[in-house]
A and B are shown apart, each in its own frame.
Chain A
């Protein structure tokens, strides 16, 4: 503004004690910690699902010692591992959707936004910390749990094979865990973080905007657009487009077969075709627009 106001501002700053700043990374770190404190479902839900799945696997494996039909089929030894990974990814989607719909709504509903805003944390830091949960934290967590599950399942299978007098050698040589893990990480980061990013950012934006019924506000407009398209043009392009965004029909794998189980070592991953697909970049552009809008919106938001 004017030189006078600058002078005022300077004199105030020099008046205050030590040059008090906290690195932006540290503020971001604590903002993410705070999200994990508030939303324990982020790690409790995947862990609980993993525990149940492992229990079921245990049960079927040990029963398989005596009951032939339940015995682990060597030809399809990979199937339970794929199922476990798929289950984790599904859990990740569900947790992310519910987290995003509440992230910027809950703080207004319980009036705590007045407390958060009374601290020197910018709206951008807050919104980015919230966005990092579905885009970074949950995918990595899901990956870690899935890999841990694979190892535990392998140990359980080995125990079963040993107990029934077989050799574990084939089991361990057949399963290429390192390679599978890398594939899984690649798949989760592409198909479950980058590809659906616009969906999660849209949900965040709606949760910061809607006064109530965030789920309705997030979904009804999309359903309406799909309905209008169907009635007008008798096509389902929009619905297909939206559905494909969330459940990871990303062009991450061989484009000829959009594979639901990319942990299959036969799949050829194609990072080149994924990174060069316009769909990815259009999606990321939308994600950035939604996030920018959410940051701007939070500045104006007050308790509801």
Chain B
């Protein structure tokens, strides 16, 4: 049963086309990462799924039409946009009261339990909390809702690394199970890589790449090539080559090398250097090719931050 099913989803703001015929199918129990440069249409796609924006084309979320039935749909769907959407005037206790008052699937005790693990006080207003605490509060509210689909739009933007790690850890350990589905749009791809089950690249309103993480691991390999074997490696036609700290790093798509047996191929590549699964950011650059300057810029940042992390 598909949790989200879209066919020919289109949306234009004036002359700008935000979604250009998106076909999408997200199965129940999956965690989908939606990756793309700024302005690629990620937020528009998520807003269409949440019934926040009208669209053309066919879209069913949990069997409902989101634009026509937003309020009913929201009994089963939760949404966290970037950290700044909780009203700044609301007190923590008021937020709990309100959600308990209007949401039929909210378990207040559960939310209190999550909050007890933080330093957030019941009487504080949101404006008095740090960014990280606001996200913790929002996550506590959302995790206490027995929803079927959770949509996250840059949920950890502007948070420090500890809060970001904690955010995804709680999500995986305390929330996610096989009956729930999560869709997350983010730029911080390295952090979600181990969380995702599926990956989707979106650019200029189109889905340009999609695969499961298992497929990604078996299909793409990144080799840090020994200097003397660079020529041999290049002969195998990598889909991308980059330099890092004086070494050539080549990314291979094993599907394009289908003349050789998979095992043999992995063996062959291992002989050329250190083999590992590529990061999402590198794959993104390779897949996008030199499609646009925007893609280049965004991913260069990703590569730099990844390089710094090593």
A residues with a Cβ closer than 8 A to B are: 1, 5, 8-13, 16-17, 20-22, 26-27, 29-31, 33-34, 37-38, 107, 110-112, 114-115, 117-123, 125, 299-300, 302
Contacts of A31 in B (CB 8 A): 102
Q: A20-B75, A20-B104, A27-B102 are in contact. Are A11 and B63 (CB under 8 A)?
A: yes
20 further interface pairs, Cβ-Cβ under 8 Å (given A37-B94, A114-B52, A117-B50): A5-B60, A8-B60, A8-B63, A11-B63, A12-B1, A12-B148, A26-B102, A30-B101, A33-B101, A37-B90, A37-B91, A38-B87, A114-B85, A118-B77, A121-B102, A122-B70, A122-B71, A123-B71, A299-B70, A302-B47
Q: A9-B64, A27-B102 are in contact. Are A110 and B88 (CB under 8 A)?
A: yes
Question: Can you spell out 22 A-B residue pairs with CB atoms less than 8 angstroms apart?
Answer: A8-B1, A9-B64, A11-B63, A13-B63, A17-B146, A20-B75, A22-B101, A26-B101, A30-B97, A38-B90, A107-B87, A111-B84, A114-B85, A115-B85, A115-B87, A118-B50, A118-B77, A120-B72, A120-B104, A123-B71, A300-B54, A302-B52
In the complex, how many angstroms separate the beta carbon of B112 from the nearest chain A beta carbon?
18
**How far, in angstroms, from A121 to B71 measured CA to CA in the complex?**
5
Kindly list the 6 A-B residue pairs having the minimum CB-CB distance in the complex, ordered from nearest. A30-B101, A20-B104, A9-B63, A112-B87, A8-B63, A118-B79
B189 at the interface (CB under 8 A from A): no
**How far, in angstroms, from A38 to B90 measured CA to CA in the complex?**
7
B209 at the interface (CB under 8 A from A): no
In the complex, how many angstroms separate the beta carbon of B264 from the nearest chain A beta carbon?
45
Residue of A nearest to B89 (CB): A38
As a 0/1 sequence over residues 65 to 88 of chain B, the CB contacts with chain A under 8 angstroms (1 = contact) are 100001111111111110011111
**How far, in angstroms, from A290 to B77 measured CA to CA in the complex?**
31
B89 close to A37 (CB less than 8 A): yes
Contacts of A119 in B (CB 8 A): 74, 99, 102-103
Contacts of B62 in A (CB 8 A): 12
In the complex, how many angstroms separate the beta carbon of A49 from the nearest chain B beta carbon?
23
B residues with a Cβ closer than 8 A to A are: 1, 47, 50, 52-54, 60, 62-65, 70-81, 84-91, 94, 97-99, 101-105, 138, 146, 148
B102 close to A110 (CB less than 8 A): no
Contacts of A300 in B (CB 8 A): 53-54
Contacts of B75 in A (CB 8 A): 20, 120
Determine which residue in B75, B77, B87, B89 has the highest number of CB atoms from chain A within 10 A of its CB, and name it: B87
B74 close to A120 (CB less than 8 A): yes
Contacts of B53 in A (CB 8 A): 300, 302
In the complex, how many angstroms separate the beta carbon of B38 from the nearest chain A beta carbon?
17
Residue of B nearest to A1 (CB): B65
Residue of B nearest to A8 (CB): B63
Residue of A nearest to B52 (CB): A117
B52 close to A33 (CB less than 8 A): no
Contacts of B104 in A (CB 8 A): 20-22, 120
Residue of B nearest to A39 (CB): B89
Residue of A nearest to B72 (CB): A120
In the complex, how many angstroms separate the beta carbon of B85 from the nearest chain A beta carbon?
4
**How far, in angstroms, from A122 to B65 measured CA to CA in the complex?**
15
Contacts of A110 in B (CB 8 A): 84, 87-88
A20 close to B105 (CB less than 8 A): yes
Residue of A nearest to B73 (CB): A120
**How far, in angstroms, from A263 to B103 measured CA to CA in the complex?**
45
Determine which residue in B75, B91, B148 has the highest number of CB atoms from chain A within 10 A of its CB, and name it: B75
**How far, in angstroms, from A37 to B97 measured CA to CA in the complex?**
11
**How far, in angstroms, from A110 to B62 measured CA to CA in the complex?**
30
In the complex, how many angstroms separate the beta carbon of B158 from the nearest chain A beta carbon?
14
B76 close to A16 (CB less than 8 A): yes
**How far, in angstroms, from A98 to B19 measured CA to CA in the complex?**
39
A120 close to B89 (CB less than 8 A): no
Q: A118-B79, A302-B52 are in contact. Are A112 and B86 (CB under 8 A)?
A: yes
Residue of B nearest to A17 (CB): B146
B102 close to A114 (CB less than 8 A): no
A5 close to B94 (CB less than 8 A): no
**How far, in angstroms, from A264 to B62 measured CA to CA in the complex?**
62
In the complex, how many angstroms separate the beta carbon of A12 from the nearest chain B beta carbon?
4
In the complex, how many angstroms separate the beta carbon of A124 from the nearest chain B beta carbon?
9
**How far, in angstroms, from A125 to B72 measured CA to CA in the complex?**
13
In the complex, how many angstroms separate the beta carbon of A113 from the nearest chain B beta carbon?
8
**How far, in angstroms, from A111 to B47 measured CA to CA in the complex?**
14
In the complex, how many angstroms separate the beta carbon of A241 from the nearest chain B beta carbon?
37
**How far, in angstroms, from A281 to B76 measured CA to CA in the complex?**
41
In the complex, how many angstroms separate the beta carbon of A195 from the nearest chain B beta carbon?
32
